[in-house]
Amino acid sequence: MVLLKNGHVVDPTNNINKKIDILIDSGKIVKLEENIDPPPKTQVIDASEKIICPSFTDIHVHFRDPGQTYKEDIYTGSKAAVAGGYTTVVCMPNTLPALDEPSLIRYIIEKGEEVGLCRVLPSAAVTKGRKGKELTEMSLLKDAGAVYFTDDGSPVMDAHIMRKAMEYAGSIGSFVADHCEDLNLSKDGVAHEGEIAAALGLPPLPPEAEDTMVARDCILSMHTGMPVHICHLSTKVGVEIITWAKAMGAKVTAEVTPHHIYLTDEEWLDFDCKAKVSPPLREHEDIEALRWALASGIIDIVATDHAPHAHQEKMQEHHHCPPGMIGLQFALPIVLELVRKDYFDMNRLVEVMSVNPAKKIGLKPPQIKEGELAELTVFDPSESWEVNEEVIQSKSKNTPLMGRKLIGKVKYTFFNGKIVYRD
Ligand code: DOR
Ligand code: ZN
């Protein structure tokens, strides 16, 4: 038996936000009460000053298997996930080959289960080979276990194909998630079009490359009545568009990444391509709009877009450097910063990192309730730690946060009743 003693439990689903002990027997939560005395032979975990909440779900990660396992694999990705407090992740299909066949979908699920640290679920490509031309066999992919459809890494550029994809995915009870980028507008852009890109002479990437596609997708969703999910929203205009679409009754949901609510294009000032990410890091005004949108419910979900790349790849000059940064271990401290700054409360943090993302992919959110399997995260909201190579569990270390201090540290992660991570 395990007794979590003196922790502050936050579970919006069960309306819990108080100090309460949790007794776990054979993986199950058997008692939830103030001041439980430990039965004999019980491992007691002192959770004083810690928060205990349902563990997190990240619906947007790149684990690079198959094809690029020198960057990450399902084992190292899972390790990073549980160290970040996550027990469910959804892998993106921009692998080599792309996840566009049922056998590849099954491969990810089996490999995730073999590793066994957390629930690793695949999304599937919208179009064959992610080439944007021909729809995949969505029904078969869904039956194989794909939890949604996306060509992430690339947009679905053709509006007619996007419309058909939304209709098809919606009709089988799934949805399309779009990486919103008009490639004709983004062209060879590298950094957000603004003062920094201009001063440094970096090829600019205008925000309207994203905004026009967000608008297109919202309008297609409105007319078809089908759901669409906007990946990694990064602009203030995007927030306005989604506010409008939601008011019009469109079934639009949106996610934001930790890096887009924390870092600006000033990360480029040392000319380091670690700052290169798609969509690009924006300006203070965008960050502010995204933070308030997350607080108000216009943005539904925090997703990391954990995008590992090898050191040599990120060292290339800006045109050749692939976009992306790792994120699984930094999401909690970054979102906690918004709690500290009073954008929203701890309850909302748990909603956007645990409840909403689980629901979005059709899972019952983990719950801190008698009779449930323990699937929870214990974290210290005030412990400060330094980002360095040793603490990063991911195979790749590409992050502009290297060497910086973050506040908020995962201490334990429970998955399926077992401790899968201990700090
Ligand atoms: O920065 C990014 N990296 N954005 C994407 O959409 C794709 C991802 C990757 O696969 O590296
Ligand atoms: Zn992505």
Let me know whether 85 and 128 are in one domain: yes
Report which protein residue has its CA nearest ligand 1's atom 7. Answer: 153
The answer to the question of residue 187 being in a domain is yes
Mean pLDDT of the 141-165 span? 98
CATH number at residue 39: 2.30.40.10
* 274 and 406 co-located in one domain: no
Give DSSP secondary structure letters for 125-145. -SBGGG-SSSB--HHHHHHHT
Domain count, the chain: 2
Report d(CA 423, CA 410) in Å as an integer. Answer: 7
164 and 249, same structural domain?
yes
Paired with 245 in beta bridges are none
pTM: 0.98
What's the rounded mean pLDDT across residues 21-50?
98
Backbone torsions φ then ψ of 419, nearest 5 degrees: -80, 115
Residues 107 and 252 in one domain: yes
Q: What is the pLDDT of residues 301-346, one digit of tens each?
A: 999 999 999 999 999 999 999 999 999 999 999 999 999 999 999 9
Indicate which residue's Cα is closest to atom 1 of ligand 1: 324
End residue of a domain, out of 309, 341, 360: 360
Assess whether the C-beta atom of 277 lies below 6 angstroms from ligand 1: yes
The CA distance from 337 to 196, in Å, is: 25
β partners of residue 255:
301
* Structure confidence at residue 93 (pLDDT): 98
Q: Which residues are catalytic?
A: 305
Tell me: do 254 and 181 sit in the same domain.
yes
Are residue 287 and residue 319 in the same domain, yes or no?
yes
| Residue 160 belongs to a domain | yes
> Ligand 1 atom 2: the closest Cα is on which residue?
324
Beta bridge partners of 252: 228
In a domain, 176, yes or no: yes
Task: For residue 365, tell me if it sits in a domain.
Answer: no
- Judge if the beta carbon of residue 152 lies within 6 A of ligand 1: yes
Identify whether 128 is part of a domain: yes
Cβ of 310 closer than 6 Å to ligand 1, yes or no, is no
Q: Calculate how far, in angstroms, residue 164's C-alpha sits from the geometric centre of ligand 2.
A: 22
Probe ligand 1: pick from 68, 95, 178, 277, max atoms within 8 Å of CB?
A: 277
> Quick one: 404 and 292 in the same domain?
no
Beta carbon of 324 within 6 Å of any ligand 1 atom? yes
Boundary-marking domain end, from 360, 383, 411: 360
Q: Which amino acid is at 352?
A: V
Pocket probe for ligand 1: among 95, 156, 305, the residue whose CB has the most ligand atoms within 8 Å is 305
- Region 225-247: what's the mean pLDDT? 98
- Domain shared by 318 and 413, yes or no: no
Give the mean model confidence (pLDDT) for residues 158-185: 98
Q: Which ligand is nearest to the CA of 326?
A: 1
Residue 89 lies in a domain: yes
Q: Which residues pair with 149 in a beta bridge?
A: 124, 176
Which residue, by CA, sits nearest to atom 5 of ligand 1? 153
The proportion of the chain whose per-residue pLDDT surpasses 70, expressed as a percent, equals 100
In angstroms, the CA 310 to CA 25 distance is 42
User: Does some domain include residue 320?
Assistant: yes
In DSSP terms, 29 is beta-bridged to 24
345-403 pLDDT, tens digit per residue, is: 999 999 999 999 999 999 999 999 999 999 999 999 999 999 999 999 999 999 999 99
State which residues form the domain around 150.
56-360
Domain match, 46 and 112 both? no
| Ligand with smallest separation from the Cα of 67 | 1
Residue type at position 164: K
What pLDDT, on a 0 to 100 scale, did the predictor assign at position 49?
98
Q: Does any ligand 1 atom lie closer than 6 A to the CB of residue 278?
A: yes
Domain assignment of residue 330, yes or no? yes
Give tens-digit pLDDT for 358-371. Answer: 999 999 999 999 99
Which residue pairs from 315-322 have beta carbons closer than 8 angstroms and sit at least 24 positions apart in sequence?
A: 315/273, 316/273, 317/273, 318/190, 318/191, 318/202, 318/203, 318/273, 318/276, 319/188, 319/190, 319/203, 321/273, 321/276, 322/276
Q: Do 228 and 293 belong together in one domain?
A: yes
110 and 165 housed in the same domain: yes
Is residue 71 domain-shared with residue 171, that is, in the same domain? yes
